[in-house]
Chain A
Amino acid sequence: MQLFNFSQPLHFMRFKWPALLLSVLLVIGSIGSFATKGINWGLDFTGGTVIEVGLNQSADLTAMRDTLSAAGYPDAVIQLFGSSKDVLIRIPLRPDLVQEKVGEAVLQALNAKQSTPVELRRVEFVGPSVGEELKQDGGMAMLVALIGILLYVALRFEWRLSVGAVVSLGHDVILTLGLFSILQLEFDLTVLAAILALIGYSINDTIVVFDRLRESFRKLREATVDETIDHAITSTLNRTVITSLTTVLVLLVLFFMGGALINGFATALLFGIAVGTYSSVYVASAIAEVLGISREDMLPAPPAENEVEQV
């Protein structure tokens, strides 16, 4: 069984300009969304208190809101979490509150109104300095990862491919952040981990195409650059799609079965892998092509390849 079996390479590069234009538009749209809507930072980044409680019947959110307003938390955000019996309460940082005490106070206020006591599932309090540091650390991690990849690819391949790879990774990260901004999904620590994992996954895809590109440049001596790129992408298309498919399979399982805590993680990776698969095919190679990559850039062959030729 085989997904695709092409006798001729598909003409991917024929659509490189429309594809790049689409990517540019999507990136602009994402950045526009950061500027206007911002990102819905989770507790890990904003600081504050989150309380998750379990009830033994469906929650009456309005009543809970009233209870907490009366208890001195009019700014509490209350929402269902995963099921109708599971409630998430967020209390933002406020200078007049002793944050360390908020969790207990909220629980007491709720229990005073409930006939059966609510079950405390988790309380998380994050101080203001911690969140700010986390944003910086996370941004730093992404930056260091991108620079590391830039250097590695430039060393192992060629600088144009390196730029192509990093631009396509930046593209994936920006679009995923854009999705979280447009849909106002909560961006917490697990989403940060997912985006960093996405960088790792997406570069994997890109490298596989580049690797084949290097080989194709050496093999197809008569072909134009566009044709060579088309050949490389076409011959790795089966692998690209199948690997994405198996990863998407497990991510779907995580998305539907992983529980509410892991939902953001799965969402970010599902979207990111869809975008990443597209970008490793189109953005990375197209940019290297636009930057003027040529057959001469990929020669001479490293010794490892000569060995294979002798077989």
Chain B
Amino acid sequence: MLNKNPAWRYVVVITMLLLTLVYALPNLYPEDPALNISARGGAVISEQTRLQLEQEFIRAGNAAASVQLQDGKIIARFSSAEQQLQAFDQAKNLLGRNYIAALSLMPATPAWLSAIGATPMKLGLDLRGGVHFLLAVDMQAALDKHLNDLVSQFRNDLRQADIRYQSVKANLEQGQIAIVFRQAADVEQAASLLSKQDSQLLMNQDMDSLSLLVSLSEERQRDIRNYALEQNITIMRNRVNEIGVAEPVVQRQGADRIVVQLPGVQDTAQAKEILSATATLEFRLVDTDSDLTAAIAGRLPGNAELYQSNDGRPVLLEKRVLLTGDHITDAISGYDEYSQPKVTIKLDTAGGNLMSDASKSAVGRRMATVFIEYKPGTEQRADGTPVLVKQQEVINDATIQSRLGRDFDITGLSSPAQAQHLASLLRAGALIAPIQVIEERTIGPSLGKENIELGLAAIQWGMLAVLIFMLVYYKAFGLVANIALAANVIFMVGIMSMIPGATLTLPGMAGIVLTVGMAVDANVLIFERIREELAEGRSVQQAIHLGYDRAFATIADSNMTTLLVALILFGVGTGPVKGFAITLAIGIITSIFTAVVGSRLLVNLIWGGRRLQSLPL
């Protein structure tokens, strides 16, 4: 017999290899120092601004390698880090505070590669330097706040339904609200009223003590937790964008955790201040009676204050605050009946009452939303930490169309993007659950670079050692195994680059090294098996055939169990362990493929078509 494979198999395997090779290529290109510029408030940057910026760099004698407009953001690349830093200042001076500039390293992937979606592997913080925070959301606080809101809502509802109660009190430890009535009939009536209004409440009537115990259903509690987490994630995203970091990560982890990763940021103190800064909102009426120009010149009317709106316009607002942001329970962007973008705001009961009273006499007037945030300024305290500066800006003003209640809409927004941004700012306005930093890791840039170098060196030398060993031990067959091993590394890097979520970390690099050591196992099994078959007196071609076939069951069984372990690692592990598990799992799959399919094709191509008496094994 002869061992021959149809040509299409070779075509398929070679095509796959070439394809992954192309996707692995971007990793070979270095990174350019770059500047990412985005507009505040989610606006889209125009071509005109891009041109202006490009000319400014040229005028200042600091011509950029390229200034491109991409997804409404500008990416300017430079040939050196000094140029990048100079451009950072130039861009800030030119564009002013409505734009956010961030220093970054952009992969210098050639256009033809990025056109087909080939990007380099994402590097973990341990390889590129930066800050990692793990934040825990205080869910108890969110539940407590909700219970307290319900207390005032119940009082209101009962009063309106003319049900007389003695007291409404929240018992936060037990997660209950106790309502005590004067007569038994009221208990019944109140229970049906409240559960009609909100089916997610659990009622527990106690006739003897004339009381009704109200608690939240599991589903409601879960919703509150989810909302608190989502809200915090939104806030963190907004703030991280403020810091001006390229490619930040803000991600949910588990039920009550948020991971924030800021690559390249070295000043943890500042990052922490910004992340834990508190933001609030205020609603105020616009003062249209007084003279705006006079106010700008310094002659402010007694009952008004001058504000800046986020598009740079001055706005005169009344001093009286209609409502503060802590009454907002939700803000959702959407479209009104004319398909115009809008934001629907939901208030708690107390807020609804306040708003209703305040807006009664103000229909037809303009109401402004003021966003107040405490951010670190340029000044520093004696201990070197920056002083927090109160920043206020009007993020929106709109005409009050009718008396407002617990739910109302803000319209007159310029775009759906603006509506979304406003909604997220409104949600950010009142933190329903405070957060706490429970884990923090800062990796300096030099350490990151060293780690990459160490990892690469380990991969190179480890691979070299294995290659030499295999060549010496198995001679020509060793060469086949080595080609399979090289293909395996290409497959691993290519696939890692293709998977969007895969991040290369230091343990991940260790995983690659380990895979290099273990990947030859399949070929070792096969070659040993071929030797055995030869020793038992089978012909060369039979030995090759049987060697591959018989070894395959063993390879499949043993690798399945290792894959099982990798999957468990991925499921249970976090951060670096996950990174390791990904590389291990990919490595196992690709090594089976290259060692079983790839090397067999190669062996059959070289030795399979001839009548041989012995093998170079």
Which residue numbers of A lie inside 8 Å of B, CB to CB? Answer: 1-2, 52, 54, 100, 103-104, 108, 119-127, 129-130, 134, 137-138, 140-141, 144-145, 148-149, 152-153, 156, 189-190, 192-193, 196-197, 199-201, 203-205, 207-208, 211-212, 215, 235-236, 238-239, 242-243, 245-254, 257-259, 261-262, 265-266, 269, 304, 308, 311
- The A-B contact count (CB < 8 A) is 234
Residues of A within 8 Å of B269, CB to CB, are 104
State how many angstroms separate the Cβ of A100 from the closest Cβ of chain B. Answer: 5
Whether the pair A257, B454 counts as a contact (CB closer than 8 A) is: yes
Residues of B within 8 Å of A120, CB to CB, are 266, 442, 444
Contact residue among A138, A140, A199, A262 (Cβ-Cβ distance under 8 Å from B565): A199
Q: Can you report 26 residue pairs joining A to B where beta carbons are below 8 Å apart?
A: A1-B472, A100-B272, A108-B383, A108-B384, A123-B268, A123-B442, A125-B439, A130-B438, A149-B561, A149-B564, A156-B557, A189-B576, A190-B507, A193-B576, A196-B569, A197-B565, A212-B554, A215-B550, A239-B521, A239-B528, A242-B473, A242-B524, A243-B520, A249-B465, A262-B454, A311-B549
Contact residue among B558, B569, B575 (Cβ-Cβ distance under 8 Å from A211): B558
C-alpha gap A129/B138 in the complex (Å): 13
Tell me the interface secondary structure of chain B in the complex.
helix
Contact residue among B469, B553, B569, B577 (Cβ-Cβ distance under 8 Å from A246): B469
Residues of B within 8 Å of A252, CB to CB, are 465
Whether the pair B442, A137 counts as a contact (CB closer than 8 A) is: no
Whether the pair A204, B514 counts as a contact (CB closer than 8 A) is: no
State how many angstroms separate the Cβ of B3 from the closest Cβ of chain A. Answer: 12
Whether the pair B272, A239 counts as a contact (CB closer than 8 A) is: no
Whether the pair B438, A265 counts as a contact (CB closer than 8 A) is: no
Residues of A within 8 Å of B557, CB to CB, are 156, 207, 211
In chain B, what residue has the closest Cβ to A248? B517
In chain B, what residue has the closest Cβ to A101? B269
Whether the pair B454, A130 counts as a contact (CB closer than 8 A) is: no
Residues of B within 8 Å of A192, CB to CB, are 577
Determine whether B516 belongs to the interface, using a CB cutoff of 8 Å to chain A: yes
Whether the pair A126, B525 counts as a contact (CB closer than 8 A) is: no
| Interface window among B282-290, B342-350, B417-425, B445-453 | B445-453
| Interface window among B27-35, B166-174, B217-225, B455-463 | B455-463
Instruction: Select the residue from A138, A189, A205, A266 with max chain B CB neighbours within 10 A.
Output: A189
Q: Given A52-B447, A262-B454, A249–B558 Cβ distance below 8 Å?
A: no
Which residue numbers of B lie inside 8 Å of A, CB to CB? Answer: 126, 134, 136, 266, 268-269, 272, 383-384, 436-444, 446-447, 450-451, 454-455, 457-458, 461-463, 465-466, 469-470, 472-475, 506-507, 510-511, 513-514, 516-518, 520-521, 524-525, 528, 531-532, 542, 545-546, 549-550, 553-554, 557-562, 564-566, 568-569, 571-577, 580-581, 584
Whether the pair A239, B514 counts as a contact (CB closer than 8 A) is: no
C-alpha gap A246/B470 in the complex (Å): 9
C-alpha gap A204/B266 in the complex (Å): 43
Whether the pair B561, A122 counts as a contact (CB closer than 8 A) is: no
C-alpha gap A1/B474 in the complex (Å): 7
State how many angstroms separate the Cβ of B563 from the closest Cβ of chain A. Answer: 8
The 8 closest A-B pairs by CB, nearest first: A127-B438, A250-B462, A200-B565, A250-B517, A247-B517, A141-B572, A200-B562, A207-B558
Residues of B within 8 Å of A259, CB to CB, are 450-451, 454
Residues of A within 8 Å of B569, CB to CB, are 141, 145, 193, 196-197
C-alpha gap A97/B442 in the complex (Å): 19
Residues of B within 8 Å of A254, CB to CB, are 458, 462, 510, 513-514
Whether the pair A148, B466 counts as a contact (CB closer than 8 A) is: no
Whether the pair B454, A258 counts as a contact (CB closer than 8 A) is: yes
Contact residue among B437, B472, B475, B562 (Cβ-Cβ distance under 8 Å from A100): B437
Residues of A within 8 Å of B444, CB to CB, are 54, 119-122
Residues of B within 8 Å of A119, CB to CB, are 444, 446
Residues of A within 8 Å of B440, CB to CB, are 100, 103, 123-125
In chain B, what residue has the closest Cβ to A156? B557
C-alpha gap A126/B437 in the complex (Å): 9
State how many angstroms separate the Cβ of B465 from the closest Cβ of chain A. Answer: 4
Residues of B within 8 Å of A266, CB to CB, are 510
Residues of A within 8 Å of B577, CB to CB, are 189, 192-193, 196
Whether the pair B560, A253 counts as a contact (CB closer than 8 A) is: no
Instruction: Select the residue from B126, B463, B514, B559 with max chain A CB neighbours within 10 A.
Output: B514
C-alpha gap A153/B562 in the complex (Å): 12
In chain B, what residue has the closest Cβ to A304? B553
Residues of B within 8 Å of A134, CB to CB, are 574
Q: Given A152-B560, A249-B466, A121–B446 Cβ distance below 8 Å?
A: yes
Residues of B within 8 Å of A108, CB to CB, are 383-384
Residues of A within 8 Å of B528, CB to CB, are 236, 238-239, 242
Q: Given A193-B580, A201-B518, A243-B520, A253–B462 Cβ distance below 8 Å?
A: yes
C-alpha gap A242/B525 in the complex (Å): 9
Contact residue among A104, A129, A156, A200 (Cβ-Cβ distance under 8 Å from B438): A129
State how many angstroms separate the Cβ of B381 from the closest Cβ of chain A. Answer: 13
Given A152-B564, A203-B561, A208-B554, 19 extra CB contacts under 8 A: A1-B472, A122-B441, A123-B441, A124-B439, A124-B440, A129-B136, A130-B438, A141-B573, A149-B564, A199-B565, A205-B558, A243-B521, A243-B524, A247-B514, A249-B517, A254-B514, A258-B510, A304-B553, A311-B542
